[in-house]
Amino acid sequence: MIKVSGLKKAFKNTEVLKDINFEVKDGETVVIIGPSGSGKSTLLRCLNYLEKPDAGLIDIGDVSANTERVKKPTINKLRMQTSMVFQHYNLFKNKTVLGNITYPLTASKKFKKEEAVEIGEKLLGQVGILDKSKQYPVALSGGQQQRVGIARALAADPHAILFDEPTSSLDPEWVGEVLKVISDISKKEKTMIIVTHEMDFAKEIADRVIFMADGHIVEEGTPEEIFDNPENERTRKFLRKYTNHSGSIEEETIEPELVTV
């Protein structure tokens, strides 16, 4: 389980996270939505300690950290509790696809080479990319790279996986295959927090949805509550914009002859 209370983070004079409180139960899939600059990514990065929070408590699994006076060994333990899937994949360019998964296992987790290879090949099979295991990341499409990124995040068997806009830099044709892999993992009762702009995907996969704006959690609830009956005006406004963006043409009356391509 993940428990965050009073989390704060500022960059210079800009407060990006203002007193964030939330919980994620084991096996739960939580989707965070919200406008750009609302602090969603920073929140994930604080959980993984890629950013150092200014204040607040973070409990993940059996590690708890008071971010104001946490020491290095605790930070390392906390970091091991989660792993991250990045918007830009960030695969190790100097390692093969398989090496991307086995290197962290052998270098830090003290796995034997054969064990690491076994884990790596199993996971690459799961994300459907085993045939590329000897290739280098540069030879893969964006979608394939992100699937490797997901396999790498799974390899260490962390308490939770954090997805930071996993499909935002993908060409539209690759989005589907990545979302499918994520949704397969979610069915396996893995604890996950996903920051995404894919609203249909969020609706389908989330056990719970959190809407963030201006460094606050504005509203949270089941997908039905948030998408169908949002209580807060900010949430309504945000979702209205999004449904307009994805072009729900049927709701607007457009004269067919005016539609040009």
Partner 1 sequence: MNFDIGYMIEILPQLLVYIPITLYLAIVSMIIAVVIGGVLSLILVNRTPVAVQLSKLYISFFRGTPVLVQLLMIYFGLPQLFPWLNSISAVNAAIIAFSFNTSAYLAEIFRAALTSVDKGQTEAAISTGLTYHQAVWGIVLPQAVRNAVPATGNMFIGLIKNSSLAFTIGVTELLAQGKLLATATLQFFEAYLAVGIIYWGMTILYSWMQKWYEAKINKPYEA
Q: Mention every residue, 6+ apart, whose C-beta is less than 8 A from residue 67.
A: 7, 46, 52, 53, 54, 55, 56, 57, 58
Binding mask 31-50 for partner 1 (x = CB under 8 A): -----------------x-x
CB of 253 to partner 1, least distance (A): 45
CA–CA distance from 209 to each of 22, 71, 137, 250, 251 (Å)?
A: 11, 32, 33, 26, 25
User: Nearest Cα to 29, choosing from 205, 228, 221, 223?
Assistant: 205
Rounded to the nearest 5 degrees, what angle is found at the Cα of 94, between the Cα atoms of 157 and 102?
Answer: 25
CB of 206 to partner 1, least distance (A): 23
CB of 219 to partner 1, least distance (A): 29
Q: By C-beta, is 69 or 93 nearer to partner 1? A: 93
Residue 107 in the binding site for partner 1 (CB under 8 A)? yes
Residue 90 in the binding site for partner 1 (CB under 8 A)? yes
Please return the burial class of 164, using the count of CB atoms within 10 Å of its CB with bins 0-12, 13-18 and 19+. Answer: buried
CB of 98 to partner 1, least distance (A): 13
CB of 104 to partner 1, least distance (A): 4
Residue 71 in the binding site for partner 1 (CB under 8 A)? no
Residue 112 in the binding site for partner 1 (CB under 8 A)? no
Tokens standing for residue 146: 């992100």
Rg of the chain in Å (alpha carbons): 19
Residue 155 in the binding site for partner 1 (CB under 8 A)? yes
- Find how far residue 120's CA is from the centre of its chain: 21
Residue 83 in the binding site for partner 1 (CB under 8 A)? yes
Binding site for partner 1 (CB under 8 A): 48, 50, 76, 79-80, 82-84, 86, 88, 90-96, 103-104, 107-109, 136, 138-139, 152-153, 155-156
